Amino acid sequence: MKKVLVGMSGGVDSSVSAIILKNQGFDVYGATMKLWDDVNSTDAKKVCDKIGIPHYILDFEEQFKNCVIKNFIEEYKKSRTPNPCIQCNKHLKFGIMYEKAKQLGIDYIATGHYAKIEYSDKYKKYVLKKSKNIAKDQSYVLYTIPKNMLQYILFPLEDFDSKEKIRKIAFENNLLVADKPDSQDICFIPDGDYKQFLEKNSDIKLKEGNVIFKGEIIGKHKGLYKYTVGQRKGIGISHETPLYVIGFNKEKNELIVGEEKDLYVKNFKVKNYNLLLIDEIKEPIKVSVKTRYKSLEHAAIISMDNDLINVEFLEPQKGVTSGQSAVFYIDDIVLGGGIIV
């Protein structure tokens, strides 16, 4: 009997994932990662007890602070907008949790992500694909998985096209988490106030500076860390046309604003990339690109530029933000992705 370690947050998705795997004949073990202060593992343990599987708490708090929190703070110091979920997936869920599973002699790890992994006859390898439930698809935040790990990862929810069907399984198994709402916020900032988090947990302090529009000073900002590219609300300056954050001058502590048309870009570059479908980009490839988790995909050509990937949209697009990830797709398969420079 194959063994699988299921990452369990206490939510309905990971809970149902464990049930599905047990029903498929796996020897299932539940694991909750202790990441930030309170582990909040009560619900996960209750689910494991209910379905009759062991439950473990994996204390990864120090690694989480070093790999995720530190990156989050450092990126904001550089006026970049990070995605901590991607860093957590890279270093913890599909990093040290996988290593822990191997140490325990467990064959697979599984999570409640909405995505699909399968062997492709066309590409002669395991590939990461979009979920059948496109509205919930999380392939965007999974591009950092090492390609040699794909065959050892299970996504039990891969073929579900609605959340209602998953909750139905939870109700049928009398799970207390069956109607538990989905988590919406960054796990270590449950109230969503990332500005207050930065002020309390780093040496970032409010430092006012000039707001620049077309080279002219038009007002004052309240600290660069409080703004992100594309932001319209909260700039605090009335103008005859709507103003958006379009960039930063860190050296001069200036917030650069412009009109909506100034947000559109044709080219950008990506660093720290991970390629899943191919080993290297030898010649330009046409792909569709997603530059934020909730954004639409847009057609582009990717090519190598020294140690960076150059991305050229077929038509200019907005929503390209330094620190976020750009993920490349060919049809419904993840080719790879990286951090926007």
Active site members: 88, 187
Note whether 187 and 35 are within 8 A (CB).
yes
Residues forming beta bridges with residue 210, ordered by sequence position: 220
The order of strands in the sheet holding 55-59 is 55-59, 27-34, 3-7, 108-110, 153-154
Apex 11 CA angle, 173 and 113, nearest 5: 105
Note whether 208 and 222 are within 8 A (CB).
yes
Apex 124 CA angle, 161 and 306, nearest 5: 95
Q: Strand pairing of 209-213 and 216-221? A: antiparallel
Q: How would you label 198-208 residue by residue, b for 16+ Cβ within 10 Å and e otherwise?
A: bbeebebeeee
Q: How would you label 146-170 residue by residue, b for 16+ Cβ within 10 Å and e otherwise?
A: ebeebebbbbbbbebeebeebbebb
Note whether 140 and 83 are within 8 A (CB).
no
Dist. CA 257–CA 244, nearest whole Å = 5
Between helix 163-172 and helix 12-23 the angle, nearest 10°, is: 70
Dist. CA 201–CA 198, nearest whole Å = 5
Retrieve residue 220's tokens: 């004052």
Burial class (CB in 10 A: 0-12, 13-18, 19+), 296: exposed
Between helix 12-23 and helix 42-51 the angle, nearest 10°, is: 20
